[in-house]
Amino acid sequence: MLNDITIGQYFPGNSVIHRMDSRFKIVLVTVYVVMLFVAQNFWGLGVGCAFMIMVYAASGISFRLILKSLKPVLAIIIFTAVLNLIFVKDEGDPLVAFWVITIYRKGIETSAFMVIRIVFLIVGMSLLTYTTSPIVLTDAIESLFSPLKKIHFPVHELAMMMTIALRFIPTLIEETNKIMMAQKARGAALDTGGLIKRAKAMTPILIPLFINAFKRANELATAMECRCYRGGEGRTKLRVLHATKLDFFAAALTVCVLGIIIINNIVF
Protein backbone atom coordinates (compact mmCIF):
# COMPACT_ATOMS: atom_id res chain seq x y z
CA MET A 1 0.00 0.00 0.00
CA LEU A 2 2.89 2.30 0.78
CA ASN A 3 4.32 1.48 -2.63
CA ASP A 4 1.57 3.49 -4.25
CA ILE A 5 3.15 6.75 -3.20
CA THR A 6 5.01 8.23 -6.13
CA ILE A 7 7.47 10.82 -5.00
CA GLY A 8 8.68 13.48 -7.35
CA GLN A 9 6.04 12.34 -9.85
CA TYR A 10 8.47 12.61 -12.70
CA PHE A 11 7.27 11.26 -16.04
CA PRO A 12 10.19 10.82 -18.41
CA GLY A 13 9.70 12.13 -21.92
CA ASN A 14 11.42 14.01 -24.67
CA SER A 15 9.09 16.91 -25.38
CA VAL A 16 10.31 20.50 -25.73
CA ILE A 17 9.22 21.07 -22.14
CA HIS A 18 11.24 18.07 -20.94
CA ARG A 19 14.26 19.34 -22.84
CA MET A 20 14.20 22.83 -21.35
CA ASP A 21 16.87 23.93 -18.91
CA SER A 22 15.44 23.20 -15.45
CA ARG A 23 16.63 26.57 -14.12
CA PHE A 24 14.54 28.31 -16.75
CA LYS A 25 11.62 26.11 -15.91
CA ILE A 26 11.73 27.09 -12.26
CA VAL A 27 12.00 30.80 -13.02
CA LEU A 28 9.30 30.70 -15.69
CA VAL A 29 6.90 28.80 -13.45
CA THR A 30 7.44 31.55 -10.89
CA VAL A 31 6.65 34.16 -13.52
CA TYR A 32 3.56 32.19 -14.45
CA VAL A 33 2.39 32.19 -10.83
CA VAL A 34 2.89 35.96 -10.71
CA MET A 35 0.91 36.17 -13.96
CA LEU A 36 -2.10 34.42 -12.41
CA PHE A 37 -2.11 36.83 -9.49
CA VAL A 38 -1.57 39.93 -11.62
CA ALA A 39 -4.59 39.11 -13.76
CA GLN A 40 -7.51 41.16 -12.49
CA ASN A 41 -10.28 40.03 -14.79
CA PHE A 42 -11.48 37.02 -16.73
CA TRP A 43 -9.78 38.19 -19.90
CA GLY A 44 -6.38 38.35 -18.28
CA LEU A 45 -6.88 35.06 -16.47
CA GLY A 46 -8.08 33.50 -19.71
CA VAL A 47 -4.84 34.47 -21.45
CA GLY A 48 -2.81 32.91 -18.62
CA CYS A 49 -4.86 29.71 -18.73
CA ALA A 50 -4.67 29.45 -22.50
CA PHE A 51 -0.92 29.80 -22.21
CA MET A 52 -0.70 26.90 -19.73
CA ILE A 53 -3.01 24.71 -21.85
CA MET A 54 -0.70 25.34 -24.80
CA VAL A 55 2.38 24.41 -22.73
CA TYR A 56 0.69 21.22 -21.52
CA ALA A 57 -0.16 20.30 -25.10
CA ALA A 58 3.52 20.68 -25.95
CA SER A 59 4.60 18.53 -22.97
CA GLY A 60 2.56 15.47 -23.91
CA ILE A 61 1.41 14.95 -20.31
CA SER A 62 -1.94 13.17 -20.25
CA PHE A 63 -5.17 14.82 -19.11
CA ARG A 64 -5.62 12.09 -16.50
CA LEU A 65 -2.43 13.16 -14.76
CA ILE A 66 -3.61 16.75 -14.63
CA LEU A 67 -6.72 15.66 -12.81
CA LYS A 68 -4.61 13.51 -10.50
CA SER A 69 -2.53 16.52 -9.50
CA LEU A 70 -5.70 18.32 -8.43
CA LYS A 71 -6.98 15.52 -6.21
CA PRO A 72 -5.02 16.47 -3.07
CA VAL A 73 -6.23 20.10 -3.20
CA LEU A 74 -9.84 19.33 -4.07
CA ALA A 75 -10.98 20.17 -0.54
CA ILE A 76 -9.31 23.58 -0.66
CA ILE A 77 -10.84 24.32 -4.03
CA ILE A 78 -14.35 23.46 -2.85
CA PHE A 79 -13.86 25.41 0.38
CA THR A 80 -12.73 28.51 -1.51
CA ALA A 81 -15.61 28.21 -3.94
CA VAL A 82 -18.25 27.88 -1.23
CA LEU A 83 -16.80 30.66 0.88
CA ASN A 84 -16.74 33.12 -1.97
CA LEU A 85 -20.15 32.08 -3.13
CA ILE A 86 -21.74 32.79 0.23
CA PHE A 87 -19.87 35.78 1.52
CA VAL A 88 -19.18 37.94 -1.52
CA LYS A 89 -22.06 40.36 -1.90
CA ASP A 90 -22.94 43.19 -4.31
CA GLU A 91 -25.59 45.95 -4.32
CA GLY A 92 -27.94 44.09 -6.66
CA ASP A 93 -30.66 41.65 -5.68
CA PRO A 94 -29.56 38.22 -4.53
CA LEU A 95 -29.98 35.54 -7.19
CA VAL A 96 -30.74 32.89 -4.64
CA ALA A 97 -31.98 33.40 -1.15
CA PHE A 98 -32.53 30.25 0.79
CA TRP A 99 -32.60 29.98 4.58
CA VAL A 100 -29.45 31.92 5.69
CA ILE A 101 -27.72 31.54 2.34
CA THR A 102 -27.84 34.38 -0.12
CA ILE A 103 -25.97 34.22 -3.37
CA TYR A 104 -25.21 37.27 -5.47
CA ARG A 105 -23.99 37.55 -9.02
CA LYS A 106 -20.66 38.89 -7.86
CA GLY A 107 -20.28 35.89 -5.54
CA ILE A 108 -20.57 33.50 -8.46
CA GLU A 109 -18.07 35.51 -10.47
CA THR A 110 -15.49 35.75 -7.68
CA SER A 111 -15.94 32.12 -6.84
CA ALA A 112 -15.35 31.04 -10.44
CA PHE A 113 -12.38 33.39 -10.73
CA MET A 114 -10.74 32.03 -7.58
CA VAL A 115 -11.33 28.40 -8.53
CA ILE A 116 -9.81 28.86 -11.97
CA ARG A 117 -6.86 30.65 -10.43
CA ILE A 118 -6.14 27.89 -7.89
CA VAL A 119 -6.65 25.08 -10.39
CA PHE A 120 -4.24 26.60 -12.88
CA LEU A 121 -1.76 27.43 -10.13
CA ILE A 122 -1.55 23.77 -9.10
CA VAL A 123 -1.63 22.50 -12.66
CA GLY A 124 1.21 24.84 -13.64
CA MET A 125 3.43 23.88 -10.74
CA SER A 126 2.75 20.17 -11.29
CA LEU A 127 4.03 20.52 -14.83
CA LEU A 128 7.44 21.37 -13.39
CA THR A 129 7.67 18.17 -11.36
CA TYR A 130 6.07 16.08 -14.12
CA THR A 131 8.67 17.05 -16.68
CA THR A 132 11.80 17.47 -14.55
CA SER A 133 13.57 14.64 -12.75
CA PRO A 134 14.11 15.33 -9.05
CA ILE A 135 17.88 15.22 -9.39
CA VAL A 136 17.89 17.80 -12.17
CA LEU A 137 15.51 19.91 -10.14
CA THR A 138 17.94 19.76 -7.23
CA ASP A 139 20.80 20.76 -9.52
CA ALA A 140 18.77 23.70 -10.76
CA ILE A 141 17.92 24.86 -7.26
CA GLU A 142 21.57 24.61 -6.27
CA SER A 143 22.57 26.59 -9.33
CA LEU A 144 19.88 29.26 -8.90
CA PHE A 145 20.69 29.80 -5.25
CA SER A 146 24.46 29.68 -5.67
CA PRO A 147 24.84 33.48 -5.29
CA LEU A 148 23.72 32.94 -1.68
CA LYS A 149 26.98 31.07 -1.03
CA LYS A 150 28.59 34.52 -0.77
CA ILE A 151 26.69 35.14 2.44
CA HIS A 152 27.65 31.62 3.65
CA PHE A 153 24.25 30.12 3.05
CA PRO A 154 24.85 26.32 2.76
CA VAL A 155 23.42 25.91 -0.74
CA HIS A 156 25.45 22.86 -1.72
CA GLU A 157 24.80 21.10 1.58
CA LEU A 158 21.06 21.61 1.26
CA ALA A 159 21.08 20.31 -2.30
CA MET A 160 23.10 17.28 -1.17
CA MET A 161 20.61 16.60 1.60
CA MET A 162 17.76 16.79 -0.88
CA THR A 163 19.50 14.33 -3.19
CA ILE A 164 20.12 11.87 -0.38
CA ALA A 165 16.54 12.22 0.84
CA LEU A 166 15.26 11.45 -2.67
CA ARG A 167 17.63 8.53 -2.93
CA PHE A 168 16.50 6.98 0.35
CA ILE A 169 12.75 7.56 0.23
CA PRO A 170 12.05 4.33 -1.73
CA THR A 171 14.48 2.39 0.47
CA LEU A 172 12.82 3.62 3.65
CA ILE A 173 9.34 2.92 2.31
CA GLU A 174 10.39 -0.63 1.54
CA GLU A 175 11.91 -0.95 4.97
CA THR A 176 8.77 0.39 6.66
CA ASN A 177 6.77 -2.24 4.81
CA LYS A 178 9.08 -4.98 6.00
CA ILE A 179 9.03 -3.85 9.62
CA MET A 180 5.24 -3.56 9.54
CA MET A 181 4.99 -7.11 8.26
CA ALA A 182 7.42 -8.36 10.89
CA GLN A 183 5.54 -6.70 13.75
CA LYS A 184 2.20 -7.86 12.39
CA ALA A 185 3.63 -11.36 12.41
CA ARG A 186 4.29 -10.82 16.12
CA GLY A 187 0.64 -9.92 16.59
CA ALA A 188 0.90 -6.14 16.57
CA ALA A 189 -2.53 -4.67 15.93
CA LEU A 190 -1.78 -1.85 13.54
CA ASP A 191 -5.14 -1.19 11.98
CA THR A 192 -7.60 -1.53 14.80
CA GLY A 193 -8.51 0.57 17.81
CA GLY A 194 -8.87 4.28 18.41
CA LEU A 195 -6.53 7.06 17.44
CA ILE A 196 -4.36 6.92 20.56
CA LYS A 197 -4.15 3.15 20.45
CA ARG A 198 -3.09 3.29 16.84
CA ALA A 199 -0.50 5.95 17.52
CA LYS A 200 0.90 3.76 20.29
CA ALA A 201 0.94 0.79 17.98
CA MET A 202 3.30 2.73 15.71
CA THR A 203 6.13 2.59 18.28
CA PRO A 204 7.30 -0.90 17.24
CA ILE A 205 7.58 0.41 13.69
CA LEU A 206 9.04 3.85 14.24
CA ILE A 207 11.81 2.86 16.65
CA PRO A 208 13.43 0.24 14.39
CA LEU A 209 12.93 2.56 11.43
CA PHE A 210 14.77 5.42 13.14
CA ILE A 211 17.55 3.22 14.46
CA ASN A 212 18.12 1.74 11.02
CA ALA A 213 18.00 5.16 9.42
CA PHE A 214 20.76 6.38 11.74
CA LYS A 215 22.81 3.31 10.98
CA ARG A 216 22.34 3.90 7.27
CA ALA A 217 23.31 7.55 7.65
CA ASN A 218 26.47 6.55 9.45
CA GLU A 219 27.48 3.99 6.84
CA LEU A 220 26.61 6.33 3.99
CA ALA A 221 28.77 9.06 5.49
CA THR A 222 31.74 6.67 5.63
CA ALA A 223 31.13 5.53 2.08
CA MET A 224 30.98 9.16 0.92
CA GLU A 225 34.24 9.95 2.67
CA CYS A 226 35.82 6.95 0.99
CA ARG A 227 34.83 8.47 -2.30
CA CYS A 228 36.70 11.66 -1.44
CA TYR A 229 33.68 13.80 -0.53
CA ARG A 230 34.79 17.08 1.06
CA GLY A 231 31.80 19.33 0.59
CA GLY A 232 30.93 21.56 -2.33
CA GLU A 233 34.29 23.27 -2.74
CA GLY A 234 35.95 22.46 -6.06
CA ARG A 235 33.32 19.97 -7.18
CA THR A 236 32.54 19.45 -10.85
CA LYS A 237 29.42 17.92 -12.36
CA LEU A 238 28.65 15.01 -14.65
CA ARG A 239 25.69 16.88 -16.03
CA VAL A 240 26.06 20.58 -16.65
CA LEU A 241 22.94 22.65 -17.10
CA HIS A 242 23.05 24.86 -20.14
CA ALA A 243 20.49 27.12 -21.67
CA THR A 244 19.66 26.83 -25.37
CA LYS A 245 17.73 28.95 -27.85
CA LEU A 246 14.63 27.03 -26.82
CA ASP A 247 14.91 28.36 -23.27
CA PHE A 248 15.30 31.97 -24.38
CA PHE A 249 12.35 31.58 -26.73
CA ALA A 250 10.23 30.18 -23.89
CA ALA A 251 11.31 33.03 -21.63
CA ALA A 252 10.42 35.62 -24.27
CA LEU A 253 7.04 34.00 -24.81
CA THR A 254 6.27 33.95 -21.09
CA VAL A 255 7.24 37.59 -20.68
CA CYS A 256 5.00 38.50 -23.65
CA VAL A 257 2.03 36.74 -22.06
CA LEU A 258 2.73 38.54 -18.79
CA GLY A 259 2.87 41.81 -20.76
CA ILE A 260 -0.48 41.14 -22.41
CA ILE A 261 -2.05 40.50 -19.03
CA ILE A 262 -0.65 43.73 -17.56
CA ILE A 263 -1.79 45.78 -20.57
CA ASN A 264 -5.20 44.15 -20.30
CA ASN A 265 -5.35 45.22 -16.66
CA ILE A 266 -4.53 48.83 -17.55
CA VAL A 267 -6.89 49.06 -20.51
CA PHE A 268 -9.95 47.49 -18.88
Binding residues vs other proteins (CB under 8 A): 133-135, 163-164, 166-167, 170-171, 174-175, 178-179, 181-189, 203-204, 207-208, 211-212, 215-216, 219-220, 222-230, 234-240
Closest CA to 158 of 142, 180, 147: 142
Judged by beta carbon, residue 196 or residue 240, the one nearer other proteins is 240
* CA distance linking residue 107 with residue 84, whole number of Å: 6
Nearest distance in Å: CB 154, other proteins: 17
Nearest distance in Å: CB 194, other proteins: 17
Judged by beta carbon, residue 86 or residue 213, the one nearer other proteins is 213
Judged by beta carbon, residue 141 or residue 188, the one nearer other proteins is 188
Where is 35: in which H helix or E strand? helix 22-38
Nearest distance in Å: CB 260, other proteins: 39
Which neighbouring-strand residues pair with 102? 97
Nearest distance in Å: CB 169, other proteins: 9
Judged by beta carbon, residue 71 or residue 227, the one nearer other proteins is 227
Nearest distance in Å: CB 156, other proteins: 11
Identify whether the C-beta of residue 96 lies closer than 8 Å to the C-beta of residue 103: yes
* CA distance linking residue 207 with residue 178, whole number of Å: 13
